Every structure is written in C-alpha cells, then in structure tokens.
C-alpha cells in the first residue's frame, strides 16, 4: 500500500500519535489534523485515499465534516472510516447515515483497524472520480 495517503482527523494527541505511527510503519503517507474545518481543507487540497474520522471534534463534529465532504464533488468519493469512542446503541447507524463508509469503536484493536484500512485501500479503486468495487 506504499504511496497511499490517509488523512487522520483526531483531536486526542495520544490517539493521533498512535494512529500516525501505526500507519506510517505500514508504509502509508499521513496527513493529520485535530480540527474539522482543517480536515475539509486538507481533503480538498490533498485528495487522500482514505480518511479516519473522529466523531467528537472541538470545532465541528466528525459527522458534520463527513456530510460536507460527501456533498462536495472534490471529496465525495473518498472513503471515510469513523474511529470513535461513541459506541452506544445507534451511534454506528448515525455515522453511516452521515456518509461514513465504515465504523470502528475505540479502544481500537490495531489489527482490526489495519485490516479495515487495507481492505478499503486494496478493494476500492478510483476511476473517473468514482469508487468502483473490484472483486478479488
């Protein structure tokens, strides 16, 4: 997966460092921010291959950020995985309804997160601005 770019949107410094280090060690290029509005700008400017989105952010919720990204022609095809401590009944449904493509609860089991990231980046390909599922 070398050369794949992931945007991490996480306001907890410890979680951000953990996700950053884990993904960098596996060869991913990392962009990161702890602010929702910055995430939108980074996604528009850098077109990451995947976004890991925290839900609780200081300026704008991750669900609102995801909705805005999915409404924007520049960013609507970027897969978004919600990575959140919100693990109550209905939280997963809210994340998916906002446009997240997947959901993983904190505390994150690192192997499960890596498997999910690898799955998104190896089974989806962007062609003509659209995500197409490629069966392996």
Read off the pLDDT of residues 107-127 as tens digits, 9 standing for 90 and up: 889 999 999 999 999 865 444
| pLDDT value at residue 107 | 87
Its pTM stands at 0.87
Please give the pLDDT value at position 85: 82
* Topology, domain 5-133: Rossmann fold (3.40.50)
Give the separation between CA 55 and CA 32, rounded to whole angstroms.
15
* pLDDT per residue as tens digits for the range 76-104: 999 999 998 866 778 888 999 999 999 99
pLDDT at 86: 67
State the average pLDDT over residues 58-79.
Answer: 97
Q: In what order do the strands lie in the sheet with 50-53?
A: 29-33, 5-9, 50-53, 80-84, 102-105
Rounded mean pLDDT of the chain? 88
The DSSP bridge pattern shows strands 29-33 and 80-84 to be unpaired
Rounded average pLDDT over 24-50: 97
Q: Which residue has the higher pLDDT, 134 or 85?
A: 85
Q: State the first-to-last Cα distance of the chain, in angstroms, to the nearest integer.
A: 16
Domain boundaries, the chain: 5-133
């Amino acid at each position: 997966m070398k050369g794949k770019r992931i945007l991490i949107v996480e306001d907890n410094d410890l979680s951000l460092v953990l996700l950053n280090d884990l993904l960098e060690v596996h060869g991913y290029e990392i962009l990161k921010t702890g602010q929702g509005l910055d995430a939108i700008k980074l996604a528009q400017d850098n077109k990451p291959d995947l976004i890991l989105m925290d839900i609780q952010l200081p300026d704008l919720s991750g669900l609102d950020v995801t909705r805005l990204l999915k409404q924007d022609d520049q960013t609507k095809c970027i897969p978004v995985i919600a990575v959140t401590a919100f693990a109550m009944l209905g939280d997963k449904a809210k994340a998916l309804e906002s446009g997240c493509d997947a959901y993983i609860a904190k505390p994150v089991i690192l192997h499960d997160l890596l498997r999910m990231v690898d799955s998104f980046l190896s089974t989806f390909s962007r062609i003509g601005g659209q995500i197409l599922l490629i069966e392996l």
